Amino acid sequence: MKPVEPKQGGSGSSRYTVFTISDQYFALEISFIKEVMDFPGITILPNKEASFTGVFNLRGKIVTVIDIRYLMKFEIPENKNPKMVILAEYNSILIGIAVDQVMDLLNIEEIKIQVPSRKTPAAIANYVLGFLEKKNSQHIYLLDIKKLVGTLRS
């Protein structure tokens, strides 16, 4: 697939890519996204946390792929593996985020973003900036790329 070009929405809004992980909706600001691709062949690293799926070579760069289902303590069915990887970059660090499916691009107005509350599971709240509540009471959690990249240094 081609790299995704960052585009700004209207005043007070940003564009986000929406995707699913374990039947939950998440979004990442498009300015951090470099590419969306099918799940690559990866090399599994020994003695690493379960959230580190492995690494792969992308045009001469080694990319670490994380599976946030482990970070957020989701149940992980044996037969359901992520199908795609979103390549995101923060402070010159490239990271692959394993996802089930990329759904949409949305302009999200800052005023509509809600801060995680006590109802938000702590394991999710640790890695999100907030959420957008949809009409059907479904939440779209906005991932905090800084915290995800920070897991690489742990």
Q: Which CATH homologous superfamily contains domain 13-153?
A: CheA-289, Domain 4 (2.40.50.180)
3-state secondary structure 122-152: HHHHCCEEEEEECCCCCEEEEECHHHHHHHH
State the pLDDT at residue 50.
83
CA distance 26 to 53: 19
Q: Where are the domains of the chain?
A: 13-153
SS3 category, 28: strand
Q: Is the pLDDT of residue 8 over 50?
A: no
Is the model's pLDDT at 53 over the cut of 60?
yes
Q: What is the rounded average pLDDT of the residues 105-113?
A: 92
The whole-angstrom separation of Cα 40 and Cα 84 is: 8
| Distance of alpha carbon 64 from alpha carbon 95, whole angstroms | 6
Nearest to 36 by CA among 100, 93, 131: 100
Residue 154 banded pLDDT, cuts 50, 70, 90: low
- Nearest in space to 101 (alpha carbons), one of 118, 86, 120: 86
- The residue type at 153: R
pLDDT of residue 104: 92
* Residue 133 scores a pLDDT above 50: yes
The mean per-residue pLDDT over the stretch 58-68 comes to 94
Position 92 pLDDT exceeds 90: yes
**With left for phi above 0 and alpha for psi between -120 and 50, is residue 54 left, alpha or beta?**
left
Q: Given this model, what pLDDT does residue 137 score?
A: 73
CB-based contact 101:121 (threshold 8 Å): no
